Structure 1
Amino acid sequence: MAGVARFVASSLAPAAQRFAPAAAGGVLRQILEIAIDGYQRFPGAERVAENKLERCGGSTDVAIEAVIDQHIRLAGVQGFATGLGGLVTLPVSLPANLTGIAIVQARMVAAIAHLRGYDLDDPRVRTAVITCLLGEEGVADRLKKSSLPTSPLAIATAPVFDPELDRHVSNEVVAELIARISGKKMALTITRRIPLLGGAVGAGVDGWSTYRVGQFADKSLIRRIRPSIEP
């Protein structure tokens, strides 16, 4: 566990310092680039996906399960590490944790998308990836309120890329992540400010959140069937 914690810290800390979370979609787009392309010793989504696929004997479904499991562990570790400082480091640890969990979850969803046949260089797919970070409840709630026009699948397979929708989704996701990490529930906020206990709660919250996002992405990003080209 200590080795994994050091790996996460050394890999994600530079990115967190460079891209401090803020209520701006542009920041999330930069985080998404790190998740997809990789950063230093933090491999990108396609590399992770292909590695899992090889290890799972070419089974896409098994590889996706392995991807989700891996990122749940990573999310738990980085959540625990950023919560350990307690009250003294809270103003610093929350932004770092927000950036860390965004990178981990975005890479997980992007890896799932790649395994399902989506082109990660396609801006429509990238918008769909960040939309999945809202989770099933977040997307359903926004669809009900009409603050989100359609599903991640429809976004990924839309006829054209919509930059305005991309900016809107990015801002929605940043707001959602801030709400999750800050903790609207008083009990969670209090426990995260207690050294050790706060770290344990942070690990559990981040791990559970990552599990839910992974399950939603798995269900939403169905295998893409490309149309056949007649000779």
Structure 2
Amino acid sequence: MSNSRDDVTEQNRRDARTIWDYHQIGHDVSPCDVAIGLGSHDLGVAAYAAELYHAGLFPLLVFSGATSPTTAKRFPRGEAVHYREHAIELGVPDSAILVEPQASNTGQNIALSRALLAEHGHAPRSVLLISKPYMQRRAFATCRKVWPEIEVVCASEPLKLDDYVQSIGDEKLVIDMLVGDLQRVIEYPKQGFAIEQDVPAEVRAAYDRLLAAGFDSRILRQ
């Protein structure tokens, strides 16, 4: 665990839990025509996708994601490529995986995956979006904007916040990421990237306190 834990107060942790819970929208994970694993720094997306594939929840899986400044060192061949390799190691057949290696944001993840599916003759009516745990709500809001006619189910590894912090190894960074994603949930509808989401007063208050406390390394800057 990073020493940054010493800089995080109990109030910060309570606020982080409030935002963590808000980001996870609690869909029942049900069978879908296809799944899309959204690229990020989190290899747990690929692992959970493999688990759900083996559970029979979908027959076809798209991994989407290029590389970025935050993932280039971890996934030098691109997020989707590394996700695919990990899923194959976990027993998913290569024939069940499509790779979309160009997307650099969530809207592109969905739009380019949709185009790739169409190229391969697939017109799904339902999609299971698999993301890192704190990205479920933003993934849902983005998909409803970019692909409004499809039925969307969101899923991520069923982790508690403390377990996710342990897996990343830096508590402050995780809280920064929670704050950054919430800012995007709030701001992206104004920019036409996502549908509007209700943000309860207690979530907004937690967000404001964490911003004031300096958890801002992942926010969008003007």
Tell me if TM exceeds 0.5: no
Task: Give the number of the structure whose residues are more often helix, by fraction.
Answer: 1
Return the structure number with greater relative CO, CA threshold 8 A, min gap 6.
Answer: 1
Task: Give the number of the structure whose residues are more often strand, by fraction.
Answer: 2
* TM-score, normalised with respect to structure 2: 0.27
* TM-score, normalised with respect to structure 1: 0.26
